A and B are shown apart, each in its own frame.
Chain A
Amino acid sequence: MHSNNYTLAFVFIITVLLGTILSFTKENLRELQEYNLKADMRKNILRSLDFEESENEPWSNEVVEKIFNENIQAFCVDTSGNVVDCIIEEVDTERNLEVLPVYLKVVDNKTEGIAIPVAGKGLWSTVFGYIALESDTDTVLGIQFYKHGETPGLGGEVDKAWFTNNFIGKKIRDNSGDVIGVEVLKGKVDNSKASAIHQVDGISGATVTSKGVTVFLKDDLGRYENYLNKVKADGNI
Chain B
Amino acid sequence: MEIFNSESKKIISDPLSINNPISLQVLGICSALAVTIRLDQAIIMTIAVIFVLCSSNVILSALRNFIPNRVRIVVMLSIIASLVTVVDQVLQAYLYDMSKQLSVFVGLIITNCIIMGRAEAFALKHGPSKAFLDGLGNGLGYGMIIIIVSFFRELFGAGTITLPNGGAGYELFSIPEAWYAAGYENIGLLVLSPGAFFILGLVIWTQRELFGIEEGE
Report the separation of the CA atoms of residues A6 and B66 in the bound assembly, to the nearest whole angstrom: 10
Q: Are B68 and A26 within 8 A (Cβ)?
A: no
Task: Say yes or no: A10-B78 contact (C-beta < 8 A), given A33-B93, A40-B96, A56-B171.
Answer: no
Q: Are B82 and A6 within 8 A (Cβ)?
A: no
The answer to whether the Cβ of B104 comes within 8 Å of any Cβ in the partner chain is yes
What chain A residues lie within 8 Å of B213 (beta carbons)? none
Report the separation of the CA atoms of residues A29 and B94 in the bound assembly, to the nearest whole angstrom: 9
The answer to whether the Cβ of A87 comes within 8 Å of any Cβ in the partner chain is no
Report the separation of the CA atoms of residues A146 and B35 in the bound assembly, to the nearest whole angstrom: 20
The closest CB in chain A to the CB of B103 belongs to A152
Q: Are B71 and A7 within 8 A (Cβ)?
A: yes
What chain A residues lie within 8 Å of B97 (beta carbons)? 58
Q: Are A6 and B68 within 8 A (Cβ)?
A: yes
The B interface is mostly helix, strand or loop, or mixed, namely: helix
The closest CB in chain A to the CB of B63 belongs to A14
In the complex, what's the smallest C-beta–C-beta distance from A123 to chain B, in angstroms?
15
Q: Which of A19-73 contact B (CB under 8 A)?
A: 21-22, 25-26, 29, 32-33, 36-37, 39-40, 55-56, 58, 60
What chain B residues lie within 8 Å of A1 (beta carbons)? 69
Q: Are B78 and A14 within 8 A (Cβ)?
A: yes
Q: Which of B96-126 contact A (CB under 8 A)?
A: 96-97, 100, 103-104
The interface size of chain B toward A, counting residues with CB under 8 Å, comes to 32
Number of residue pairs spanning A and B whose beta carbons lie under 8 angstroms apart = 66
Name the one of A11, A29, A58 contacting B168, with C-beta atoms under 8 angstroms. A58
The A interface is mostly helix, strand or loop, or mixed, namely: helix
Q: Are A21 and B86 within 8 A (Cβ)?
A: yes
The answer to whether the Cβ of A187 comes within 8 Å of any Cβ in the partner chain is no
Q: Are A10 and B66 within 8 A (Cβ)?
A: yes
The answer to whether the Cβ of A2 comes within 8 Å of any Cβ in the partner chain is yes
What chain A residues lie within 8 Å of B62 (beta carbons)? none
Report the separation of the CA atoms of residues A56 and B89 in the bound assembly, to the nearest whole angstrom: 26
Name the one of A2, A14, A29, A37 contacting B89, with C-beta atoms under 8 angstroms. A29
In the complex, what's the smallest C-beta–C-beta distance from A103 to chain B, in angstroms?
21
Report the separation of the CA atoms of residues A11 and B77 in the bound assembly, to the nearest whole angstrom: 12
Q: Are A22 and B86 within 8 A (Cβ)?
A: yes
The answer to whether the Cβ of B170 comes within 8 Å of any Cβ in the partner chain is yes
Report the separation of the CA atoms of residues A40 and B95 in the bound assembly, to the nearest whole angstrom: 12
Report the separation of the CA atoms of residues A33 and B70 in the bound assembly, to the nearest whole angstrom: 38
Report the separation of the CA atoms of residues A3 and B184 in the bound assembly, to the nearest whole angstrom: 69
Q: Are A2 and B68 within 8 A (Cβ)?
A: yes
Q: Are B171 and A10 within 8 A (Cβ)?
A: no
Name the one of B71, B92, B168, B170 contacting A36, with C-beta atoms under 8 angstroms. B92
Q: Are B103 and A32 within 8 A (Cβ)?
A: no
Name the one of B67, B79, B167 contacting A10, with C-beta atoms under 8 angstroms. B67
What chain B residues lie within 8 Å of A7 (beta carbons)? 68, 70-71
In the complex, what's the smallest C-beta–C-beta distance from B95 to chain A, in angstroms?
9
Q: Are B68 and A10 within 8 A (Cβ)?
A: yes
What chain A residues lie within 8 Å of B69 (beta carbons)? 1-2
Sampled A-B contacts (9; CB under 8 Å)? A14-B75, A22-B85, A25-B89, A29-B90, A58-B166, A58-B167, A152-B103, A152-B104, A153-B192
Q: A11-B75, A33-B92, A152-B34 are in contact. List 5 more A-B contacts (CB 8 A).
A: A6-B68, A11-B71, A11-B74, A14-B79, A29-B92
